[in-house]
Amino acid sequence: MGDPMEAALLSLAAKAGLERDELLAAMPEMSEEAFDPELKMMATIHEAAGGHFVAVKGAPEAVLEHIVSVASPDGAAGLSEVERAAWRERSAELAGRGLRVLALAAKRARAAGEPVYGELTLLGLVGLQDPPRRDVAGAIAACRQAGIRVIMATGDHAVTAQQVAEAVGLGVQDRELVVDGRDLPPLDAMSASERERFLSAGIFARVSPKQKLDLIALHQGAGDVVAMTGDGVNDAPALTKADIGVAMGQRGSQVAREAADMVLRDDAFASIVAAIGQGRVIFANIRKFIVYLLSCNLSEIMVVGLASLSGMPLPILPLQILYLNLVTDVFPAFALGAGEGEADVMERPPRNPKEPLLARRHWITIVSFGAAITASTLAAFYLAMTLLEMDPEQAVTIAFLTLALSQLWNVFNMRERGTGFLRNEITRNLYVWAAIAWCLALTVGAVYMPGLADILSLSPPDMEGWMLAVGLSLVPWLLGQLAKLGPRKKRATGNVAEG
């Protein structure tokens, strides 16, 4: 390692301010040893007089294990164990300042089959500053508020990881919650106490791709839903194994993007949080859409069924039911699907992934609202024939109007329990008001338009008939609003882990 040519090559590589093209012109690259996640190093082999020049970079603790000398202006000098420990301290100092540290080394290889990483000469340490984006801290705080746990799993030094974690509000005070990859045994070799410890850990440093797979399996085995973010080729297996793989669209590799379920176009962690919020809103809107339609359709079935079983004349005719299904049910349901959700959607705990789309409480709601609408419609039909002494056709019109109006007002019963009576996600939805106005026009038109009224067998009611229909149509709405009083009930949920 001490010949003049070697010293010249090492001096050339160690100089600052040289362009890469200049170095490659002096020493053309012949081949490359790809980064090895286990060794935590990579190398390039270059042509040089009298043999080959090997340039190595990697994690300081890994490179220092293969160092036998240190480059100096006078050539390569031997490295003692004391000096090796001093270099480790320098690396730890740089990492403690939040820098990502790389060790650079080189050697002269005279034979083609010579081990690449053997007998290296240390050129120095490089500290890279990669500050987190400003929006990360707020995004992590939003995750914590939403019941989502964020875990850092990185290939960086543990000290660097802690510095970055503190900068983004993910600081871990207890050092026991910071795990070095070298202390992380395989999943099948973990004891029960180790599993508990690693499940509670918040930072994993110097982890390999295989260890990321074990961490995902560990949390999934504990019932967590795991979202994994990554950008490298080595992250592809973990992105595939996670419940939701999230790849970086700008700096992510093609392999990572193809393995992921979702790709971030802006590489921003805040975009994940925004997607979670939108996902919660969409899922809630789907539930409201289904609950509304099922409760309305159930009321139509119950009106006809109960009237037939009791021997009453039919309160509503087949064409009238078809008209309601095609007109008054559809538009309010579509409007519910366009809702923007409540402002506190990210302050609620995650939904248990094992919970069905319609849980028991939703079926109770469907039956309850359907029964209330049915009762109001049958009551209006009965009172129209008895109290108001209407003929069957006029009584059917009253029942039709009561059923149609009850279903329209039922859209306001789709608000969340504990939300404001006047200000909630339903009343703030302009599409709901437009749908109600349109459906009211279609309902009134069905009664007063001569051709349409004849087809549907409807006749215009008098003032008493309108008062009866409108008054009884408000009863299901009133009962639904009373049911929404009180605080929102908290439900058991599954944990969500993100790495």
- pLDDT, tens digit, for every residue of 96-121? 787 888 999 988 887 666 788 888 99
Range picked from 142-146, 471-475, 487-491 for highest mean pLDDT: 471-475
The pLDDT of 178-200, averaged and rounded, is: 89
Choose between 217 and 130: higher pLDDT.
217
Q: Is residue 1's pLDDT more than 60?
A: no
18 compared with 189, residue with greater pLDDT: 189
pLDDT in tens, 349-383: 888 888 899 999 999 999 999 999 999 999 999 99
pLDDT category at 498 given cuts 50, 70, 90 is: very low
- Judged against a pLDDT cut of 70, whether residue 122 lies above it is answered with yes
Cα distance between residue 3 and residue 25, in whole Å: 22
Closest by CA to 439, choosing from 279, 355, 330, 328, is 328
pLDDT in tens, 63-107: 999 998 998 877 778 888 888 899 999 988 888 787 888 999 988
Angstrom distance (rounded) from CA 293 to CA 312: 26
- For residues 355-377, one letter each, b for 16 or more C-beta atoms within 10 angstroms of the residue's C-beta and e for the rest, the string is eeeeeeebeebbebbbbbbbbbb
Reported as a pLDDT band with limits 50, 70 and 90, residue 490 is low
Residue 495 has what pLDDT? 42
In sequence order, what DSSP letters do the residues of 87-146 get, joined into one string? HHHHHHHHHHTT-EEEEEEEEEE-STTS-TTSSEEEEEEEEE--PPPTHHHHHHHHHHHT
pLDDT mean over 131-146: 86
Residue 169's SS3 state is: coil
199: Cα separation from own chain's centroid:
20
Instruction: Summarize the confidence of residues 127-136 as an average pLDDT.
Output: 82
User: What's the mean pLDDT when you consider all of the chain?
Assistant: 87
Q: Which residues of 177-209 are buried (b: 16+ CB within 10 A; e: fewer)?
A: ebbebeebeebeebeeebeeebbebbbbbbbbb
Interval 398-454: pLDDT, tens: 999 999 999 999 999 999 888 888 888 999 999 999 999 999 999 999 999 989 999
pLDDT band at 173 (very low <50, low <70, confident <90, very high): low
List, edge to edge, every strand of the sheet that includes 120-128: 29-36, 41-48, 51-58, 100-109, 120-128, 67-72, 75-78
Predicted pLDDT of residue 40:
86
The continuous run of DSSP H or E covering 471 comes out as helix 463-483
pLDDT digits 0-9 by tens, 298-320: 999 999 999 989 888 899 999 99
pLDDT at 291 over 50: yes
Crossing angle of helices 392-409 and 463-483, rounded to 10°:
30
Length in residues, the chain: 499
Cα distance from N-terminal residue to C-terminal residue, the chain: 44
Place 11 in a pLDDT band, splitting at 50, 70 and 90: low
DSSP state of 241: H
* pLDDT for residue 183: 87
Tokens encoding 161? 């990881």
